[in-house]
Amino acid sequence: MVVLAKGELEQIALPAAVQKAAPPLADVPEVDLGGAGRADAARAVVAACEGHGFFKVTGHSVPPGLLARVEAAAAAFFAMPQPEKEAAAAAAAAPGSPFGYGSKRIGCNGDLGWVEYLLLGVAAAAAAPLPAHGEASPSPSYGSFRDILNEYVVAVRAMMWEVLKLMAEGLGLKEKDALVRLVSHEESDSVLRVNHYPPHPELKQQGHGRLTGFGEHTDPQIISVLRSNDTSGLEISLRDGSWASVPPDRKSFFVNVGDVLQVLTNGRFRSVRHRVMVSSPRPRVSVIFFAGPPPRERLAPLPWLVAEDGGRRRYREFTWREYKASAYRTKLGENRLCHFETEAD
């Protein structure tokens, strides 16, 4: 259970002026993978990435039973006593890595949120991409949770590759695998995050209607695929700077354009700012797959998209290792891409 120390509530509670709930996002952009026309789906992906940088995926073939098992296993994991969660997850993470179980502290730069989470590195291994449990397992139940998450990663990865292929087609790239290649390489640097936002029963009594579960930010990677239970909380920032809440849909996935995809598309796609606000009396559980390129991969706007933009190259070349190191030195809400922009002519 997440418990706040004195003074911490003030840091993650919103000031009274912005306590008002964000209106629901009208017309959530949707891409139906089971629909008839591939060209229509490719166009829908591109339009959504150019618009909000965010869309919903329906008609996918990830089995609903698997989604239900992930949800139940996550709820069981977070219901364990805190020391067990820490020990179980520590056994799956190399010492000094950012991976493992965390509570309230997001990253290493002082960000706080009303959330507890499990963060795992994902390897390219086909059948078992998540780190194996140490032999002296302090919690056999964590072992079975990891097995279910492994199944989930394999299924979601396949669905995400399909989305990235549609994206390449919609953009008119000659190399249809240009984006999939980056996230399916054996050294691709991907991360799985399971977030649990417990309800806060005393919020109302204390005069705080909403807490920040996960502060506003963009995801640094190429693409993120999110699935949550039926509890609301996710909000995205619109072009005019206002916030809109995303109605939850446990049958579908939500996709965020990440910073690196904004760079690859020379700014044509936009990495979406988003956050999670906690106001529901029910817990929210979300699982997010962040797909990144290999650390040594050199990233720069794709030549075809630079040509389409009149030859203007909006970002300089960098490696993912370089970007990630820079991103992980920043606070959650900072603009990380501005350090890689080229000068306007």
Ligand X SMILES: C=C1C[C@]23C[C@@]1(O)CC[C@H]2[C@@]12CC[C@H](O)[C@@](C)(C(=O)O1)[C@H]2[C@@H]3C(=O)O
* Binding site residues, ligand X, CB under 6 A: 98, 106-107, 109, 111, 119, 191, 193, 217, 219-220, 290, 327-328, 330-332
Nearest residue (CB) to ligand X, 171 versus 183: 183
Nearest residue (CB) to ligand X, 111 versus 235: 111
Does position 226 interact with ligand AKG (CB under 6 A)? The reply is yes
Cα distances (angstroms) measured from residue 321 to each of 17, 156, 192, 221, 296: 40, 24, 18, 11, 6
Q: Out of ligand AKG, ligand X, Fe ion, none, which partner does residue 220 contact, by CB within 5 to 8 A per kind?
A: ligand X
User: Number of residues in contact with Fe ion, rule: CB under 5 A?
Assistant: 1
Nearest residue (CB) to ligand X, 169 versus 334: 334
Nearest residue (CB) to ligand X, 206 versus 335: 335
| Rounded-to-integer distance, Cα 291 and Cα 263, Å | 15
Q: Out of ligand X, ligand AKG, Fe ion, none, which partner does residue 109 contact, by CB within 5 to 8 A per kind?
A: ligand X
Least Å distance, CB 310 to Fe ion, is 32
Q: Kindly identify the residues of this chain, within the stretch 237-276, that bind ligand AKG according to CB under 6 A.
A: 274, 276
Task: Build a one-symbol-per-residue string for 45-74: x at contacts with ligand AKG by CB under 6 A, - elsewhere.
Answer: ------------------------------
Single out the segment in contact with Fe ion by CB under 5 A; choices: 51-59, 213-221, 246-254, 277-285.
Answer: 213-221
Q: Kindly identify the residues of this chain, within the stretch 165-204, that bind ligand AKG according to CB under 6 A.
A: 193, 195
Single out the segment in contact with ligand AKG by CB under 6 A; choices: 8-16, 41-49, 202-210, 226-234.
Answer: 226-234
Of the candidate residues 71, 116, 189, 219, the single one contacting Fe ion (CB under 5 A): 219
Residue with the CB atom nearest ligand AKG in the bound state: 286
Binding site for Fe ion (CB under 5 A): 219
